[in-house]
Amino acid sequence: MKTLIRLAVCIAVMIQSQAYSQSGSMVEVKGGEFIPLYGTKTEVPVGDFLMDVYPVTNAEFQQFVESNPRWRKSQVKKLFADDNYLRNWKDDLSLGEGMLPNSPVTNVSWYAAKNYCECQGKRLPTVDEWEYVAMANEKQPDARTEKTYNQFILSWYETPDTYKKTIGNTFKNYWGVYDLHGLVWEWTSDFNSVMIGGESRKDSTGDNNLFCGAAAVGATDLMNYAAFMRYAFRGSMKAQYSVKNLGFRCVQDVEKSEL
Amino acid sequence: MKNSKKTKKGLIVGFFFAALFAGLFSSCEKAVAAKEDPESMKVYGESEAEMTAPPFVPRPVGKRAATKLIVNMEVIEKEMEMSDGVTYVYWTFDGTVPGSFIRTRVGDEIEFHFKNHPDSKLPHNIDLHAVTGPGGGAESSFVAPGHESVFTFKTMNPGLYVYHCATAPVGMHIANGMYGLILVEPEGGLPPVDKEYYVMQGDFYTEGENGERGLQAFSMEKAVNEDADYVVFNGKVGGLTGDNALTAKVGETVRLYVGNGGPNLVSSFHVIGEIFDKVYVEGGAMINENVQTTLIPAGGAAIVEFKVEVPGNLVLVDHSIFRAFNKGALGILKVEGEENPKVFGGKIEEKVYNPGTSVSGVTEEATEGGLSAEMSMAEKMERGKQVYTQNCLACHQATGAGIPNAFPPLASSDYLNKDVHRAIEVVKFGLTGEIQVNGNVYNSAMPKQNISDEDVAAVLTYVYNNWGNNKSEVTQEMVKKVK
């Protein structure tokens, strides 16, 4: 029963927010195979899917919490979001001072992000899906060997306060997706499945990990520092954590959308 | 001093009794052993560690017992100055490079509160080389932005240790400034000294070359190639010079806790004008004496001590010397106080040294032969200018104006215009002693110029036909005659 109500609410929200925002804009990503950072020699298959063109914005998330009181910061269960959840917001429904409606929403937990996507009939991307799309630059689907590609990403990691920028600020990549690099980190559904522990130098001990980013042993591209940092970041996360530089976007399976 | 005597006495008495009653009190031996094993050292009370930004260090532990020590540390990513007009986004422990100095004693139980500021882009952790345990605490301390992790450890080995961030990619975290020192003092503390300072070297890799202005990004490529743009003490060029210079007074004993964060370069640490009376080699228990330069590996440290006997500026350098002169690895320890001529007399005399031979020998030979063909006036002027630039300009200046009170002017010079032969003599053989030029007295020395007669003729012709002089032409013949 409860689930049904929730679903109804979600659908209502979905209709509302679709009308309101850009969240409707998705682009299709043609699947393929690639070797992610943690892979050894085996390619990982990625299916076709649709991805949000932009990260979810403050305004969009505002709509979401209006319709879903349980995700308001005063009501959210501690199990699902820590004290940093929507920390910069003035109150349950209004953005904090200086926050722009069109900036990516941050300080959201994995649970909140996941539910947001579900309410839209979407889901969070997997690490592999996210990395697959994010290895593109403007021209190529896989630009990981380009010096400029790496340099761009490294330099945003080093630039403070990029979460305050508005969406669409960075380049449109090969797939037509914006802002994968340059504004905020993004949640993925299985963010913690590739472990980078705190200890970055330990040899891979056979678990599936990069426990050790410099698990130089377990990684394919030692020069892709940007990717190391993403995996390290994900490794430091727990699902209830909310972080100032961490937002999200949703994806959708192609079949579903064609229904 | 008194105290240590007492302790000695106490010890002797203790041993005496121990020896006497060894059979009866077998537990006595155990008690002594227990005292030496840090693991079983009892801790008394609880306190918060004093943390200091470089170049300062917290108060010595002295004779305090082992305790539970709360250490609070925060990771802050922020833009700071690397050099004049050059900035860099540093990743720091407590907002400084190197991070705060942590001072403990052996047997302390450390409760480490490790926080990552919410504004941070990245997760971080800390690997303390003073920790006995996995990753030096790296795994246990791994913390996301806006979060805190708490871990504990016991200080088992006295010494000076590096701590650093070990999050992937570890090299980049260190290259951005994430290192510092933790001192574990032995029981009873290190011997007291007058001044203690905290100095740490690090190498930096920027997209722009050394000195290129503006905010500089980290260059992964240069870091991998170990091609540093900056090698500095305490996080930036000038981190220990000018207003940041260290100070001491004559007669004081100075102890430097010197670390090297790397990430790549090994330091040839040297203090120009001092000899280290003591070096705690690699920060450990072994003491070497009378050391000029001590090697500090990346991720290593040393304690150096020296008494400063005379006033002046002592210069801290990485004696891999281009780093000091071109990349910033320079610091100053300013020593104030009375001169001490017994130790250092200073310069007592300066005079001309003229062995009368030429090292190259070439020009001497050239003058032995006959005259070469006399140059035309135009040729002399051109050649003369070259000779002037190479041999005379440094002192007499490009305009012939000289330098007041040091080098007499050649422009509108009464001394020159009065006597050409004397001028030739000066160039050929040098001149020492007092002369008067245009009403001013000069008393210095001009060395003999090792140039051919032809060149003497040319340069003097050039000088006489410039800057308001009397336009004399000097020939090889005239030069040859002057002996």
| DSSP states of B431-463 | EEEEEEETTEEEEEEEPPP---HHHHHHHHHHH
- Other residues' Cβ atoms within 10 Å of the Cβ of residue B366: 14
CATH number among 2.60.40.420, 1.10.357.10, 3.60.15.10, 1.10.565.10, domain B39-188: 2.60.40.420
Residues 6+ apart with CB under 8 A from B180: B93, B98, B99, B100, B101, B102, B162, B163, B164, B200, B259, B261
Q: What is the CATH number of the domain that holds A25?
A: 3.90.1580.10
DSSP label at residue B86: E
Give the whole-angstrom CA distance, residue A106 versus residue A229: 19
Per-residue confidence (pLDDT) for residue A40, from 0 to 100: 59
Q: What is the location of CATH 2.60.40.420 in chain B?
A: 39-188, 196-336
Among A158, A209, A225, A243, most B C-beta atoms within 10 A, so best to mutate, is A158
C-alpha of B227 from chain center: 19
Per-residue confidence (pLDDT) for residue B20, from 0 to 100: 45
Q: Using a CB-CB distance cutoff of 8 angstroms, which residues of chain B are in contact with residue A225?
A: 169, 172, 220
* Average pLDDT for B154-173: 94
Among B121, B125, B149, B219, most A C-beta atoms within 10 A, so best to mutate, is B121
- Other residues' Cβ atoms within 10 Å of the Cβ of residue B6: 10
* Average pLDDT for B17-45: 61
Structure tokens at B372: 């070469």
Nearest to A198 among B118, B147, B167 (CB): B167
Structure tokens at B231: 């090698």
Q: Is the pLDDT of residue B303 over 50?
A: yes
Query: Phi-psi region for residue B94, left (φ > 0), alpha (ψ -120 to 50) or beta?
Result: left
Judged by a CB distance cut-off of 8 A, whether residue A242 touches chain B is: yes
Q: How many structural domains comprise chain A?
A: 1
Per-residue confidence (pLDDT) for residue B107, from 0 to 100: 95
Q: Using a CB-CB distance cutoff of 8 angstroms, which residues of chain B are in contact with residue A238?
A: 144
Nearest to A233 among B78, B122, B170 (CB): B122
Residues 6+ apart with CB under 8 A from A30: A48
Q: What is the location of CATH 1.10.760.10 in chain B?
A: 377-481
Give the whole-angstrom CA distance, residue A187 versus residue A117: 11
Give the whole-angstrom CA distance, residue B165 versus residue B120: 14
Note down the domain range covering A85. 2-256
Q: Is the pLDDT of residue B423 over 60?
A: yes
Per-residue confidence (pLDDT) for residue B18, from 0 to 100: 47
- The torsion angles phi and psi of A108, rounded to 5 degrees, stand at -115, 145
Each residue's pLDDT tens digit, B314-326: 999 999 999 988 8
Structure tokens at A127: 């690490």
Mean pLDDT of all residues belonging to chain B: 88
Query: What is the nearest CA distance from A199 to chain B, expressed in angstroms?
Result: 5
Tracing tokens 């980049």 back to the chain, one arrives at B172
* Residue A158 contacts residue B91 (beta carbons within 8 Å): no
Confidence of residue B4 (pLDDT cuts 50, 70, 90): very low
- Other residues' Cβ atoms within 10 Å of the Cβ of residue B226: 12
User: Which of these, A199, A226, A230, lies nearest to A215 by C-alpha position?
Assistant: A199
Q: What angle do CA A183, A189, A190 make, to 5 degrees?
A: 110
User: Which of these, B205, B87, B86, B99, lies nearest to A160 by C-alpha position?
Assistant: B87
> What top-level class would CATH report for the domain B196-336?
mainly beta
Decide if A147 and B221 are in contact by the 8 Å CB cutoff: yes
User: Which of these, B299, B193, B209, lies nearest to B255 by C-alpha position?
Assistant: B193
Q: Is the pLDDT of residue B24 over 50?
A: no
User: Which of these, A133, A126, A154, lies nearest to A30 by C-alpha position?
Assistant: A133
Q: What angle do CA B373, B377, B380 make, to 5 degrees?
A: 70
Q: Provide the 3-class DSSP secondary structure of residue B268.
A: strand
- Other residues' Cβ atoms within 10 Å of the Cβ of residue A69: 13
Q: Using a CB-CB distance cutoff of 8 angstroms, which residues of chain A are in contact with residue B141?
A: 198
Q: Using a CB-CB distance cutoff of 8 angstroms, which residues of chain B are in contact with residue A235?
A: 123, 142
Nearest to A229 among B134, B141, B169 (CB): B169
Decide if B166 and A155 are in contact by the 8 Å CB cutoff: no
DSSP label at residue A253: E
- C-alpha to C-alpha distances, B293 to A196, B236, B280, B299, B319, nearest whole angstrom: 40, 22, 13, 18, 8
3-state secondary structure A149-178: HHHHHHHHHCCCCHHHCCCCCCCECCCCCE
* Average pLDDT for B230-254: 95
- DSSP H/E element including A6: helix A2-20
Q: Using a CB-CB distance cutoff of 8 angstroms, which residues of chain A are in contact with residue B79?
A: 160
Q: Which residues of B are annotated as a binding site for Cu cation?
A: 124, 129, 164-165, 173, 178, 319
User: Which of these, A138, A142, A127, A152, lies nearest to A221 by C-alpha position?
Assistant: A142
Q: Is the peptide bond before B55 cis (omega within 30 degrees of 0)?
A: yes
Residues linked to residue A167 through DSSP beta bridges, in sequence order:
none
Mean pLDDT of all residues belonging to chain A: 82
Give the whole-angstrom CA distance, residue B68 versus residue B110: 6
Decide if A158 and B78 are in contact by the 8 Å CB cutoff: no
Residues linked to residue B270 through DSSP beta bridges, in sequence order:
B293, B317
User: Which of these, A222, A141, A150, A127, lies nearest to A176 by C-alpha position?
Assistant: A141
Structure tokens at A227: 């990717």
Within chain A, which residues score under 70 in pLDDT?
1-24, 39-41, 194-223, 255-259
Burial group, residue A164, by CB count within 10 angstroms (0-12, 13-18, 19+): middle
CA-based R_g, chain B, Å: 33
Residues 6+ apart with CB under 8 A from B48: B69, B70, B71, B72
Confidence of residue B58 (pLDDT cuts 50, 70, 90): very high
* Residue B54 contacts residue B196 (beta carbons within 8 Å): no
- C-alpha to C-alpha distances, B11 to B3, B61, B65, B77, B170, nearest whole angstrom: 12, 22, 18, 51, 48
Axis crossing angle, helix B377-391 with helix B453-464, rounded to the nearest 10 = 100
pTM (2 d.p.): 0.72
Search chain B and give the residue with CA nearest A213: B168
ipTM higher than threshold 0.85: no
> Yes or no: is domain B377-481 CATH 1.20.1440.230?
no
Give the whole-angstrom CA distance, residue A218 versus residue A210: 6
Strand ranges for chain A from DSSP E = 26-29, 32-34, 44-46, 49-52, 185-186, 246-247, 251-253
Per-residue confidence (pLDDT) for residue A7, from 0 to 100: 58
Confidence of residue B364 (pLDDT cuts 50, 70, 90): very low
Per-residue confidence (pLDDT) for residue A239, from 0 to 100: 93
Q: Is the pLDDT of residue B362 over 70?
A: no
Q: Which residues of B are annotated as a binding site?
A: 124, 129, 164-165, 173, 178, 319
Decide if B123 and A232 are in contact by the 8 Å CB cutoff: yes
For the ranges A244-258, B2-16, B116-130, B439-453, the lowest mean pLDDT is seen at: B2-16
Per-residue confidence (pLDDT) for residue A127, from 0 to 100: 92
Nearest to A225 among B125, B141, B220 (CB): B220
Which position has the higher pLDDT, A93 or B135?
Answer: A93
Per-residue confidence (pLDDT) for residue A19, from 0 to 100: 39
Per-residue confidence (pLDDT) for residue B357, from 0 to 100: 75
Q: Is the pLDDT of residue B128 over 50?
A: yes
Query: What is the nearest CA distance from B166 to chain A, expressed in angstroms?
Result: 6
Per-residue confidence (pLDDT) for residue A20, from 0 to 100: 41
Per-residue confidence (pLDDT) for residue A86, from 0 to 100: 95
Per-residue confidence (pLDDT) for residue B6, from 0 to 100: 47
Per-residue confidence (pLDDT) for residue A248, from 0 to 100: 97
Per-residue confidence (pLDDT) for residue A231, from 0 to 100: 87
